[in-house]
Amino acid sequence: MSVIIETAKLTKRYRDLVAVNELNLKVEEGEIFGFLGPNGAGKTTTILMLLGLSEPTSGHAAVCGFDPTRLPLEVKKRVGYLPESPGFYDDLTGRENLLYIARLNRIPREEADRRISRLLEQVGLADDGDRLAQEYSRGMKQRLGIAEVLVKEPKVVIMDEPTLGIDPDGVTRILEIITGLSRERGMTIMLSSHLLHQVQQICHRIGIIVKGKMIVQGDIHKLGDAILKERQWNFLLEVDGKTDGLETELRSISGIAAVETHARGWLLRCTKDVRPDLVSLVTQKGLSLLQLRSEDPTLEEIYLKYFREA
């Protein structure tokens, strides 16, 4: 894959405050990239520089092959941006809001009408396109925002907290739209979010920024392997029956490095495959085995490890 967003020692200072500190970032074409970090980490400042809306103090950025500082209009032609709370004209319908954006992008009316009808269908607003925007729920506005971003058919979409404050059904719809854009259109999506479990569901790679500095970036699975180091096996064990003394016996099994209480069972951090020993122990104790499954590290574990180190 070719790199479509890249920064080299990108830095932004506001007097004595270093908002972004020599940031090196790479986003590959066609992937969904999770851009993670706490509030004030520099995510929004970075996004503004990538869009050509803020000038870096030093360093360099390239988006779709263009320098956003020198050629911001070329970047804007190819990149769509969905802020956390997209704004619309409340006295216009959803369709009219999209038509206004199409006019700003000099899309001929006939072509604009075709695109807008297709996009309203794609984001699940085909039956609501002629309702006033002020009647839309937050989730509907977010989906209309995605349609608005797609009107100009960008190569790259940057989204800032697209699912924040939305009900579970709305979240599912938006995540499905995002994955569809990547899978079916080959679109590159950079997703800034605090909701780690959602990022883990859809992102191919992540970057974690803390105090303006990129502390790690890469494939989620590889970062998870790096966390485990020598502990390459993790199992979730759930049983039914009297479990008195079971935890102590689990700790005595060779290869189990740590035992953590987990809902109705235990999460076992292991240095080898101990499943035969676990099944044997459960059988000996006359328990029913409800669940024994391999458990990969969560993105929350990955995030906390690198955040604490930073």
Cβ–Cβ under 8 Å, residues 124 and 180: no
Domain ranges of the chain: 3-223, 229-298
Q: State yes or no: pLDDT of 182 exceeds 50.
A: yes
Q: Distances from the Cα of 244 to the Cαs of 15, 176, 266, 287, in angstroms? A: 62, 44, 14, 11
Instruction: Give the span between the Cα atoms of 32 and 250, in whole angstroms.
Output: 40
Closest CA to 267 of 233, 244, 300: 233
Query: What would the pLDDT profile of 26-76 be if each residue is shown by its tens digit?
Result: 999 999 999 998 888 899 999 999 999 999 999 999 999 999 999 999 999
| Structure-block tokens of residue 135 | 């009647």
Q: How many residues can be counted in the chain?
A: 310
Instruction: Give the span between the Cα atoms of 102 and 156, in whole angstroms.
Output: 17
Which residue's entry shows tokens 């970047």? 75
- Work out the number of other CB atoms within 10 angstroms of the CB of residue 54: 18
The residue type of 211 is K
Would 3-223 and 229-298 be classified into the same CATH topology? Answer: no
Between residues 297 and 251, the one the model is more confident about = 251
Q: Distances from the Cα of 1 to the Cαs of 6, 30, 153, in angstroms? A: 13, 8, 21
Q: State yes or no: pLDDT of 2 exceeds 70.
A: yes
3-223: CATH number: 3.40.50.300
Between residues 229 and 132, the one the model is more confident about = 132
* E-strand stretches of 29-148: 32-36, 58-63, 79-82
Closest CA to 46 of 66, 71, 70, 18: 18
Q: State yes or no: pLDDT of 304 exceeds 80.
A: no
Q: State yes or no: pLDDT of 297 exceeds 80.
A: no
C-alpha angle 165-188-226 in degrees, rounded to nearest 5 = 80
Once rounded to an integer, what is the mean pLDDT over residues 108-128?
A: 95
Once rounded to an integer, what is the mean pLDDT over residues 172-189?
A: 90
229-298: CATH number: 3.30.70.100
On average, the pLDDT of the chain sits at: 90
Instruction: Give the span between the Cα atoms of 15 and 12, in whole angstroms.
Output: 10
Between residues 137 and 166, the one the model is more confident about = 137
Query: What would the pLDDT profile of 69-108 be if each residue is shown by its tens digit?
Result: 999 999 999 999 999 888 899 999 999 999 999 999 999 9
Q: pLDDT over 70 for what percent of the chain? A: 95
Once rounded to an integer, what is the mean pLDDT over residues 285-293?
A: 92
Closest CA to 220 of 39, 8, 31, 9: 31
Once rounded to an integer, what is the mean pLDDT over residues 14-34?
A: 94
Cβ–Cβ under 8 Å, residues 207 and 25: yes
Closest CA to 281 of 307, 254, 258, 303: 254
Grade residue 167 by pLDDT with cuts at 50, 70 and 90: confident
Once rounded to an integer, what is the mean pLDDT over residues 277-297?
A: 89
Q: What is the pTM of this model?
A: 0.77
Instruction: Give the span between the Cα atoms of 275 and 293, in whole angstroms.
Output: 9
Strands 188-192 and 156-160: parallel
pLDDT at position 230 is 46
Query: What would the pLDDT profile of 216-274 be if each residue is shown by its tens digit?
Result: 898 877 776 665 554 567 889 999 999 999 999 999 999 998 999 887 799 898 888 89
Grade residue 295 by pLDDT with cuts at 50, 70 and 90: confident
DSSP letter, residue 161: S
